[in-house]
Amino acid sequence: MLLNKNDFRRIILDQFLWIIIAVIFITFSLWIGFDRFLSGTNIINILLHSTVLGILVIGQSICLLSKNFDLSAEGTVSLVTVIAAFLMVPTSSFGGGGGYEISPFIVIPLMLVIGTIAGFINGRLITKLRMNNFIVTLSMQLVLRGLSYIISGGLQIDNPPAAFNWLGTGTVGPIPFAIIFTPMLFILINWYLKNSYFGRQLYAVGSNSEAANASGFNSGRVVTIAYMISGFMAALAGWMLLGRVQSSYSKLGAGFTLETVAASVIGGISLQGGLGSLGGAFAGVMLLSVVDNGLNLMDVNPFWVNGIRGLIILLALVIDSQKMRYKLKVTPQSQPQTQE
């Protein structure tokens, strides 16, 4: 069966980010050298960079689909990692843990619960008190980071137990477990959002909350759950990050907020809510990871790195806005506006 012009254009638009990634990959390979950029070690480095960021992007994307931001995730990462290190590490370690030496099998669930509670508080403040989601989550980030500073005393807490570190440093043969775990998480949650009742509610609320309420959906509940998922994902990312770097301090996780929003939006998650998919968001994560890695290997001046990344993000957003406009034009209004 031959593809018509619209079908061909739709396929190109759907896969456009992956085409950009392939072009950038080839460009860096030619510039840096195939032996350096395409080496097994460097490919692993690119994929590892995408893991923690990717988990955070899952939570951010779900909030964006509900037409909300979550700017508190990096604060959640800071708090849960400081609490975990403080509870597990003895006082004799550099920086001084709490000396409690609590088992990682107790601390890990505690981290996930704390992250989920932070998300729940965000959601309730936004939905019950009608507070602005940007201000609420930005304030929550500051509160969580302040708490992490108080608990750690501004000191670095090192060397969590080996049993804690497996999500960040474990391997399956020669492959780091994190590289397997994060894409599988994307696949499972993307499938769930596309096939579950909650997924339908999430897209409906993001598209038009008033219409969703009129259809029997509880938009406040959906938004709160979205924030709870984002908080859970932030805590999960914190577990992976602390296990990898094996050192916690109050600023651990700083700088992730802009990257999570950028990766999500570059990947087609609409800032207007109700449009996009985690598959696209994963492509956004990979684009940022490849660009960061290539610029580092090229020894680009750090002052230029953010500018170059910003230009790439801006270009991707311009192209993606055209993609969204085209899809909205060709998608019947009676059908949900989700990406395959």
Closest CA to 206 of 27, 103, 310, 64: 64
pLDDT for the residue numbered 225: 98
Digit-coded pLDDT (tens) for 269-309: 888 888 889 999 999 999 999 999 999 999 888 778 878 77
Average pLDDT on 99-116 reads 96
3-state DSSP: the chain helix, strand, coil percent, rounded to 5?
A: 75, 0, 25
What does pLDDT average to over the chain? 88
User: To 10 degrees, the CA torsion angle through 273, 254, 279, 44?
Assistant: 170
**Rounded to whole angstroms, how far apart are CA atoms 61 and 74?**
15
pLDDT of residue 323: 60
Domains defined along the chain, listed by start: 17-24+41-330 (1.10.3470)
Q: Nearest to residue 281, comparing CAs of 270, 293, 295?
A: 270
**Portion of the chain with pLDDT greater than 90, in percent:** 66
For 245, half-sphere exposure in the C-beta direction (CA atoms, 13 angstrom radius) is 17
Q: Are 54 and 211 in contact (CB under 8 A)?
A: no
Strand partners, 171: 176
Q: Give tens-digit pLDDT for 152-200.
A: 888 899 999 999 999 999 999 999 999 999 999 999 999 999 999 999 9
| pLDDT score at 322 | 66
**CA atoms of 26 and 228, how far apart (whole Å):** 39
pTM of the model: 0.91
Least confident among 60-64, 167-171, 302-306, 329-333: 329-333
Q: What is the DSSP string of 43-76?
A: HHHHHHHHHHHHHHHHHHHHHHHTT-----HHHH
Question: Which residue from 138, 132, 173, 150 is spatially nearest to 44, judged by alpha carbons?
Answer: 173
The pLDDT, as a whole number, for residue 5 is 65
Predicted local confidence at residue 150, as pLDDT: 94
